[in-house]
């Protein structure tokens, strides 16, 4: 039998063990402030990634979009602006209520 214990382990169980090890390390070393800072950075990077993806989709299809009638173009750009605004409001204020 080749391979060690972890390579033969169920991948789901191995993933949960890695998550538990990371959580235990954070608790034992009291890294909550560091974790909070990393969470803020991850949220900012996520919003930037979404905006970059929307930009790439627009850039790839801008000639096709410019050939659309006015109403579908307005709806398309309005939906893109609403998606970015929704992410910004969710990031700034969080999700509250129903």
Report the 3 state secondary structure along 20-77.
HHHHHHHHHCCCHHHHHHHHHHHHHHHHHHHHHHHHHHHHHHHHHHHCCCHHHHHHHH
> What distance in Å separates the CA atoms of residue 74 and residue 84, rounded to the nearest whole number?
15
Local structure of residue 45 (DSSP, 8 states): H
pLDDT tens digits, 40-77: 899 889 878 888 988 898 899 889 988 999 999 999 88
pLDDT tens digits, 75-89: 988 998 888 788 778
**How is residue 36 written in tokens?**
């909070």
**How is residue 12 written in tokens?**
């789901």
């Amino acid at each position: 039998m080749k391979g060690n214990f972890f390579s033969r382990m169920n991948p789901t169980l191995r993933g949960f063990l890695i998550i538990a090890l990371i959580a235990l390390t954070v608790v034992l070393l009291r890294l909550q402030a560091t974790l909070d800072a990393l969470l803020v950075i991850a949220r900012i990077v996520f919003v930037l990634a979404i905006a970059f993806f929307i930009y790439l989709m627009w850039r790839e299809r801008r000639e096709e979009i410019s050939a659309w009638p006015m109403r579908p173009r307005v709806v398309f750009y309005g939906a893109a602006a609403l998606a970015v605004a929704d992410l910004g409001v969710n990031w700034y204020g969080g999700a509250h209520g129903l």
